[in-house]
Chain A
């Protein structure tokens, strides 16, 4: 085991997994909140856009989205996200498209987690907010969303745990994260198959377990007392 850790940059690969997760997680949170607002808004066009996006993206396999971004958008349409004269343009393009695909995919789930949180708030609160003269935006910002986020912490935690594990899908387009390194180590060290799998599994537990426990603790502490 020590031999594997010395010969391969396993920590570096996990660092890449963390980098992907942070970037895609941030993107998913922002985009997901925006989508939730769209789906709750009184404007029919925005509602339609929100629900179309969620239903389309949520029901598409992530592998397909990632491959589509790579072949359809990057290879075929030449939509590069990285400076083409840079010596690492391929790796940068892969990383950025991968983060975009993973973040965009997770956003659909974040949107639904938030919407489930919104649904825990009695309609009377929004009505009361409107009747004291708050605008739609103010109602969302001051009354509904703060409570919705609190109620959504537990499902959001699950969503982000799933996202961290989903980051392994990016290995199909060659992002050098842990699943990518794993397949190389297995190919070169067939005799240590189970050790490698144990290391990777342990790494993921270290990444996701605190997140899940933190989300549970936080959701209890911040729960809206009614």
Chain B
């Protein structure tokens, strides 16, 4: 941090003073020559294990990927919160340069933005209390299932396993709380998000992921359409992260505590469409 600060100070003192407030804690920019060159990166602020803001500290797998990519480009990430429903808008209006926030690549989204990646393949799974008798999604018939409004997880689940009662809240934290108190039987979304909650200190040992994913979600890094240069750079960075072993380390560090088995790394296409 001090080195980054000094670098910026030599460049333009006033800008350095201004940017101190926005200086992300998770960034370590010591190696690159650009110094305080900032790049705006969208992440989730409320997902443990993936993108979580605690005070001025950012932790999670997405944060690690975002930081690695920024570092490869010689820049310091300036983290911006990107809630699911606002991701496309943030990109289109240029508020962020790229987004790493459990962003599933699909055709609807590809129509408005570009994706680099996938950098991770997740699957939809179910989280229950550790002492729950539910062992597979099929046993959810007549039970209560929680998910987040606006996400496709709940409707997908109800279509695949009919007879389940859906409760949808505005945040995953509320679902996790309701499952841990027993008010709701289970919650469903991507296994990465579930693993993140199960590894949180207050839920450790209380919640478990079934480990029977029934869908495939390709997480990509979202960016403005037509920026081939940026896309190529990000793709190269992700490929390097995977081949260097940093990717593996990041997965184990962030999602390992929940007993989440590290999946094989996805093959990143070498070119940008």
Contacts and interface: CB of A to CB of B under 8 A. Distances in A.
Contacts of B111: 190-191
A186 B181 contact: no
Contacts of A87: 142, 163, 165
B89 to A, nearest CB: 7
A50 to B, nearest CB: 33
B167 A174 contact: yes
A189 B108 contact: yes
Interface residues of B, number: 30
Interface residues of B: mostly helix, strand, loop or mixed? mixed
A136 interface: no
Interface in B164-199: 165-170, 174, 177-178, 181, 183-184
B151 interface: yes
Contacts of A75: 178, 181, 183-184
B95 interface: no
- Which of B150, B166, B184 has the most C-beta atoms of chain A within 10 angstroms of its own C-beta? B150
A106 interface: no
A90 B150 contact: no
Interface in A166-197: 171-174, 180, 183-184, 186-191, 193
B267 interface: no
Interface residues of A, number: 25
Nearest to A173: B169
B167 A90 contact: yes
A88 interface: yes
Given A186-B85, A190-B88, A89 B149 contact: no
A81 interface: no
A90 B144 contact: yes
Given A76-B181, A90-B144, A193-B89, A186 B169 contact: no
A79 to B, nearest CB: 12
A67 B169 CA distance: 10
Interface string A68-86: 0001001110000000000
A84 B253 CA distance: 42
B181 A184 contact: no
Nearest to A186: B85
B112 A180 contact: no
B92 to A, nearest CB: 9
A33 interface: no
B169 A172 contact: yes
A187 B84 contact: yes
A222 interface: no
Contact of A193 (B88, B155, B174): B88
15 contacts: A75-B181, A75-B183, A90-B165, A91-B166, A94-B167, A171-B170, A172-B149, A183-B85, A184-B149, A186-B85, A187-B84, A187-B152, A188-B152, A190-B113, A191-B109
Interface of A: 67, 71, 74-76, 87-91, 94, 171-174, 180, 183-184, 186-191, 193
Interface of B: 84-85, 87-89, 108-109, 111-113, 142, 144, 149-152, 155, 163, 165-170, 174, 177-178, 181, 183-184
Nearest 6 A/B pairs, CB to CB:
A183-B150, A174-B168, A75-B183, A172-B170, A190-B88, A90-B165
